[in-house]
Structure 1
Amino acid sequence: MEKIIFKKIFPEIILTLLVGVIVFVSSFLEPDSQGFFCNDRSLDRQLKQSTVSKYFLCLFYFVIPNTVIWYDYYICSYKSMITTCNQTIYFWLGSGLAHITVNIGKYCTGRLRPNFFQACKPNIKCLSKDQFIDEYICTNSDVSVAIESKKSFPSAHACLAFYSAIYTIGLVHKRKNNALLVILQFILFLSAWYTGLTRISDNMHHSTDVIAGSMIGVLFATVMMYNLKFFDESISSIST
C-alpha cells in the first residue's frame, strides 16, 4: 500500500525540484529597459529600505505553512504521513510556479519602480520636462539595485505573502473550526495585507504591481488546495 502511494508522489517530487531550478534561473533574467518621461513624478520617489526584507519574507512565509503542515502530523496526529508529504510538496510546487509567473512578468514588462530615478541614476540630460527618454545607462554603483529598479511588475513580495497566507488558511480550514482558528486565519491574511501595503509605502511598487502580485498568489494557492482535495480523495480510494 505505502509503495503504491509513494510511487504516486515520487514524480511530483522530481517535478517540484525541476520547477525550483527554473525559478533559480528565471530570477537572473534582466528585463528590457523601458523608456520614461523626464517629468514623470511617479518614478521620482525616495529610495528606502524595505520594511519587510526579502530574507525575512522567505523565512516567515516559508516557515509558517510548513510548521502548520508538520505540526498536524507530529503533535495532533491529524493526518497520515503521505498526506503530510503531499501538502508539503504542493506548497513548494505552487510557490515555485507562482514565482516563475512573477519573474516572467518582470522580464516581459520591465516596468520601472517608483524609486527608479534614485535607484538607477540614469545618465540623462533632459532638454524639456516632457521629453521621452528611451536610451540610458544606470550609473548607480550598486548594480543589483539598478537592475531591480526595472522589475516593478508584479510584486513578488505580495505574491509570496498572499500565496503562503491563503495556502495556510486553507490548511487550517480543513480542521474543526472554532473562534481561535478564525482569528488565526485573519492574522495570516492581515500579515499578507500588511506586506503588500509596505511595498507601496516603501516606494518599491506601484499599487497595481501589488494588486497583480496578490492575485497571482491567491490564484496559485487556490489551485494547489483544489488539487490537494482530489489527491486526498484518490488516497482514500486506494486505502479502501
Structure 2
Amino acid sequence: FGWRMPVWLYECSKQISTFTFGMLLVLDATELGKYTIGRLRPHFMAVCQPILTDGTTCNDLSNRHRYIENYVCAGNGYRIEDVRQSRLSFPSGHSSIAFYVTVYLAIYLHYRLTWRGSKLLRHFLQFILLMLGWFTALSRVMDNWHHWSDVLVGILLGIVGAVIMTRCVAKLHKDGRMCNLKLSLPRAPTTTTLQEVISTPPPYTLNTMNGFSNQQYCTKM
C-alpha cells in the first residue's frame, strides 16, 4: 500500500501467519479424522443412553455381550450437541493443538533465543512448554473424554505438524544458522610471507616498457 513496514513488525507478522496457517492445517487434519472414524468416547453410554428397537436398554440382561447396531439415543439431561460430540473421540483435538503449539514454540525458542547466557533459560522454557502440552494430553484421559490411543495419535499429529511447519515453511533452522554465524577464519602464518624474497616480480607489475600496454597494465592491477 505504499507505506514502509518496520523490520520487527514484518518478521512478527510473518511468524504469526506461518504459525496460524500450520495450526489450521493440524486442526483440519484432526477434524477429518474425527468425522471419518467417528469413534465413541469413553463416556458415550452415559450421554447417549441407548434404547434398542425392542424398547430394551443395555442394562437388560438379555442384551449383555451383544453387538448392538440399531439403537436410539435417549440422552436424558443432555443436548443433541452433547450426543454428537460423544461420537468424535479419535483423534484428540486438544492433544494435537496443544502439542503443535508447544513444540512449535519450543523449536522457535531454540533458534531465536541465541543470547549466550540464555542456554539454561531456553531449555527451562522449552521444558515448561512441553509439560503444558503433556498435561493437556493427560487431562483428556483423566477426564474420561478420550481413550489413550486417541491422545497418542493427537500428540503425534501435533508434533509432525510443528516440525514440518518450522523446518519446511518457516525454515527456522536456516535463519538460525545465519543469525548464529560466527566467522572463525583460520589465520595464516605470516612468518614465511614476511621473510619471503621475490627474485622476479610478477609480470603485471611491470610497466609498459616491458611489453605490456597501458590497458593491460591497468587490467592486471
Q: Indicate whether 1:193 and 2:130 are aligned.
A: no
Tell me the alpha carbon deviations over residues 167-212 of structure 1, each in whole angstroms, 9 at most, x when there is no partner.
1111111121511121111010001000100100110000000000
Report the Cα distance in structure 2 between the residues aligned to 1:171 and 1:120, rounded to whole angstroms: 43
Which of 102, 115, 130 aligns to 2:65? It is 130
Give the direction of change, closer, same or farther, for the CA distance of 1:231–1:86 in structure 2 (3 Å limit): farther
Task: Say which SS state the counterpart of residue 123 (structure 1) adopts.
Answer: strand
Where does residue 82 of structure 1 map in the other structure? 10
Cα RMSD over matched residues? 2.5
Q: Which has the higher contact order (CA 8 A, sep 6+)?
A: 1
Q: Indicate whether 1:167 and 2:109 are aligned.
A: no
By percentage of residues, which structure has more helix?
1
Q: How does 1:10-89 map to 2 (within 5 A)?
A: 80-89=8-17
Tell me the alpha carbon deviations over residues 31-73 of structure 1, each in whole angstroms, 9 at most, x when there is no partner.
xxxxxxxxxxxxxxxxxxxxxxxxxxxxxxxxxxxxxxxxxx9
Where does residue 185 of structure 2 map in the other structure? none
Report the Cα distance in structure 2 between the residues aligned to 1:193 and 1:230, rounded to whole angstroms: 24
Where does residue 157 of structure 1 map in the other structure? 94
Alignment: residue pair count: 161
**TM-score scaled by structure 2?**
0.67
Report the Cα distance in structure 1 between the residues aligned to 2:74 and 2:153, rounded to whole angstroms: 30
Where does residue 101 of structure 1 map in the other structure? 29
| Alignment gaps of 5+ in structure 1 | 7-72, 74-78
Which of 23, 41, 50 aligns to 1:113? It is 41
